[in-house]
Structure 1
């Protein structure tokens, strides 16, 4: 079902939509690199957009409800080609970096297709960074050109790199629309080539994008991903999340986060409709679900929680499926979402694995442990290699891994090891950082830094990040297990748990809790802290019961909805240093 958003304002961009005078079959056919054997075409995710433009030229591809704008697949593919020619006209060559800074608006969708169309390298930047952070990314990636939304123009003020600003208007006087007009003119000057003037990348292992990690403990690292990996990640996501020709995907997940987990390409593969959402307004999210026929979206647990608890929350009439990742969801949250008739695909992954890489498969919904089982990380995607859980390596002894190999933990659901991965859905390297790359790939696998156990049924379940595990009296305590237990209290909206120094036990759990608005404990925090400790004793071992419970108004989160535990640790350290706790 296509969204009902009006198309009235398409006339604003009509001047840039003039199609080359070519048959439809050839208009969207790029040039292939010379010398290819007939049995081989390098994998390239741009092929999905072009096939959709040929097969479903009049199907709505991209919708921007806020501006009453929409484009069919043929219209969008032409705009992407015009942006690609504009990049060429502005000196972007194969291997050059192009930085893209913007929210989930159409020009970002255009860019994620057009930059690789000229064999440039995408550098999509987190819009919540500070100017100094962006300055570092510019210094590290040395882009040839920057495309930025007007709302975030201040992030690149003072740079010597050429900048094109998009006002997200669709009007002819918008600098971005002028850039497209320049690309259209370039195309006409060179014989109205359409996509035939754009040559596909010959090396499918070439760098497609550089996505920067959050850099919470050090400088951000640039994760280099390939054309091949992006293509296969898109196929995997479309397959594992059930995208079809009739799907309508709502953009809540930031497109800058691992290139939107490669869903820009999963959606073009499915030939589905994408709905842009400039900011995460949960009323607009629910309008999408209730009025615009949205069938799919992605979001971190905190985003899912806000959706589930919103005043407009009710069962949509159409089937809806969501992918949750970014942090481990609790069984309570999964139950809340699925009670609304929204099917959850719980996946696990990271920037270094193109986003999603594993999921829970084939669970019995009638099982009394269904929601707890779904909170596990399950098995690797069908297009990925199996995930391994290996015994931990002492700090500074990474080189020994190469000599002795990686040793698997027992499949007993108890022994904790590190999640390691390899295969099609793993990054190439860290950009300009061979030392970090070598450490990450010690022993021939990518080391995630996440700790997990392997269950007897072969599934795995995350216990913590290695830096978040709480070691109390020699016992390893999963902060995620504590959070899951506390979240099942009917008055807890969300919580986060960190290690706090303890004179006797070394460390003990300190839990930060946000109350639901409906809770009766507001203004009686001390009483609730006592209540929650008693509640947790029935669900956790004694050594894992929080020593401290602190009610807070909110938890600091990243732009993708992850709780920033390093911020909580820093605040606690500061308070303890001045004797306020």
Structure 2
């Protein structure tokens, strides 16, 4: 039987003592009022309940550790819950009303972790903003979201210096004299020790919970509004699917601002896990924690995982760590590389599906097994079934045959789908056409019922009447030992209409090998590709580049590569 004590080791807290206002009263009650008019057999789903339950059962368990900064801070579940309560009261005292938007501009630090719990506790809507955006992009999001207040980290004040929206500054110290800490203290005083009972719970589980903006690579970013219910069920599913519990230690590599941290701010509290916050993606710090902090879980897009496995001091871990990979499809080569160093990849697709290791795959060679694991798999336990469909002439959605070949579009509906694009009825109607969320991702359904993405609809290459998946081509090209990353787009061809063009970055240790020999490398890569791909899918052109254009969240911007190709 597993011990009911945290695997997170006893930490040197560097003499850190939480402010007196962060210490809960001895008679604290982790309970809110029952919204009036509810039947006895029902209560609205709200992910705040996870934090309150954790503080009740394991008050002294480490909740937040923030060690790699000038002013380290450490909070147990009981202390963290009090700080969240203080922030909720401070927001109400400021004037935040139910359904008001509160923006947060911060890296992974205690403030944004607080805000994900406290803003809903005040019945507001949290709008986490990408810290890598420009001031103009941030200004648009602040205006479009109708934000009434900004919680801003000291490092990003310059991004909102021209806004007229009030802001609360955090110096990320957790100590007296920090404006954010004073704001929390004001909340504690305003509460007059009414506690959680004095914070009115949100009666509608379908109320807006978080407003996260898309990267806007092809136009203005859209606000994705999710609900209390969807977040609650998404968090439960993520904790279950990745086997998180009180013995887990979650390392914040994924930016918390990105898509609501993939619901892991609440998956962690549901599991009563410890969380370690990193302000930036630093491979030396990540590896230090993987080796020395009993880390069991982390999330990261493929580009982050590539950097992790190629870090010069990479070594096989003594204890396995679960890596949740999403954001874009990982290659089989990347999955195999992670397994080799003791990292168990859990490949998920949005908040909808994940792949499951099958017993029949265990006897396969690693590279072959990884190809199966690179599929998007099956629906989450709390989600409705995922479909792969094509549209008939009558505009009905028809399922593709489960042959692993016929391509259709992934569509989903149910608990884990967003409620709407904020204040954009036309975009919402288009996305929900046919009664499902239209993902725009093209996939096949395999005989075993699992889903495998082939490409985005705009990225399919039609060559001589054949459909070539850029993703499938990339999966094979990256197996070349000298390739670090690759992106494939269509380029016009006088005979075949289109042919693939590959943009390649070389592994740092191989750049000298191919210096001034890019033509030779192109020949070598094509020879490698011909052994693995049909002729129409083998790249016609190869360009070695120093880096691939990426969005602020690490996705490769193929739209930029297509612009380059258009000029050739």
- TM norm structure 1: 0.93
2-structure distance, mates of 1:234, 1:274: 15
Measured after TM superposition, the shift of residue 3 of structure 1 is: 3.9
2-structure distance, mates of 1:567, 1:234: 34
Range that drifts further, 153-162 or 443-452: 153-162
Measured after TM superposition, the shift of residue 392 of structure 1 is: 4.8
Q: Which residue of 2 aligns with 1:523?
A: 516
Structure 1 residue 170 corresponds to structure 2 residue 170: no
Alignment of 1:222-301 (within 5 A): 222-301=223-302
Q: Which residue of 1 aligns with 2:42?
A: 40
2-structure distance, mates of 1:295, 1:459: 27
Structure 1 residue 436 corresponds to structure 2 residue 427: yes
Q: Which residue of 1 aligns with 2:443?
A: 452
Unaligned runs of 5+ in 2: 1-6
Q: Is the 8 A contact 1:357 1:425 kept in 2?
A: no
Q: Which residue of 2 aligns with 1:211?
A: 212
Q: 2:466 aligns with which of 458, 472, 475?
A: 475
Q: Which residue of 2 aligns with 1:16?
A: 21
Q: Which residue of 2 aligns with 1:389?
A: 388
Range that drifts further, 267-276 or 2-11: 2-11
Q: Which residue of 2 aligns with 1:360?
A: 356
2-structure distance, mates of 1:244, 1:265: 12
Q: Which residue of 2 aligns with 1:196?
A: 197
2-structure distance, mates of 1:535, 1:56: 55
2-structure distance, mates of 1:18, 1:94: 27
2-structure distance, mates of 1:139, 1:70: 35
Measured after TM superposition, the shift of residue 21 of structure 1 is: 4.9
Measured after TM superposition, the shift of residue 509 of structure 1 is: 0.7
SS of aligned partner of 1:262:
helix
Q: Is the 8 A contact 2:239 2:268 kept in 1?
A: yes
Q: Is the 8 A contact 2:318 2:342 kept in 1?
A: no
Q: Which residue of 2 aligns with 1:412?
A: 403
Q: Is the 8 A contact 1:261 1:356 kept in 2?
A: no
Measured after TM superposition, the shift of residue 571 of structure 1 is: 2.9
SS of aligned partner of 2:31:
coil
Q: Which residue of 1 aligns with 2:84?
A: 80
2-structure distance, mates of 1:516, 1:558: 21
SS of aligned partner of 2:344:
strand
Structure 1 residue 571 corresponds to structure 2 residue 568: no
User: CA offsets per residue over residues 265-284 of structure 1, 9 Å max, x none?
Assistant: 00000001000000000000
Structure 1 residue 510 corresponds to structure 2 residue 501: yes
Q: Which residue of 2 aligns with 1:5?
A: 11
Q: 2:150 aligns with which of 146, 150, 155?
A: 146
Q: Is the 8 A contact 2:254 2:299 kept in 1?
A: yes
User: CA offsets per residue over residues 265-324 of structure 1, 9 Å max, x none?
Assistant: 000000010000000000000011001111100111111111111122122222311111
Q: Is the 8 A contact 2:215 2:552 kept in 1?
A: no
SS of aligned partner of 1:471:
strand
2-structure distance, mates of 1:111, 1:198: 15
2-structure distance, mates of 1:308, 1:4: 28
User: CA offsets per residue over residues 239-264 of structure 1, 9 Å max, x none?
Assistant: 00110110000001111111100000
Measured after TM superposition, the shift of residue 503 of structure 1 is: 2.1
Q: Is the 8 A contact 1:226 1:427 kept in 2?
A: yes
Measured after TM superposition, the shift of residue 358 of structure 1 is: 3.1
Q: Is the 8 A contact 1:361 1:378 kept in 2?
A: no
Alignment of 1:528-547 (within 5 A): 528-547=521-540
Q: Which residue of 2 aligns with 1:56?
A: 58
How many residue pairs get matched? Answer: 555
Structure 1 residue 333 corresponds to structure 2 residue 334: yes
SS of aligned partner of 2:319:
coil
Measured after TM superposition, the shift of residue 367 of structure 1 is: 1.8
User: CA offsets per residue over residues 396-434 of structure 1, 9 Å max, x none?
Assistant: x9xx53xxx211112111111100001111111111011
2-structure distance, mates of 1:5, 1:529: 51
User: CA offsets per residue over residues 367-414 of structure 1, 9 Å max, x none?
Assistant: 243111001111111111111111157xxx9xx53xxx2111121111
2-structure distance, mates of 1:357, 1:82: 36
Alignment of 1:460-499 (within 5 A): 460-499=451-490
1-structure distance, mates of 2:468, 2:296: 38
Q: 2:128 aligns with which of 124, 141, 157?
A: 124
SS of aligned partner of 2:458:
coil
2-structure distance, mates of 1:522, 1:499: 26
Measured after TM superposition, the shift of residue 94 of structure 1 is: 0.4
Measured after TM superposition, the shift of residue 18 of structure 1 is: 3.2
SS of aligned partner of 1:231:
helix
2-structure distance, mates of 1:95, 1:517: 49
Unaligned runs of 5+ in 1: 350-354
Q: Which residue of 2 aligns with 1:29?
A: 31
1-structure distance, mates of 2:242, 2:497: 43
RMSD: 1.4
SS of aligned partner of 1:170:
coil
Q: Which residue of 1 aligns with 2:4?
A: none
2-structure distance, mates of 1:131, 1:392: 41
Q: Which residue of 2 aligns with 1:352?
A: none
Measured after TM superposition, the shift of residue 146 of structure 1 is: 0.7
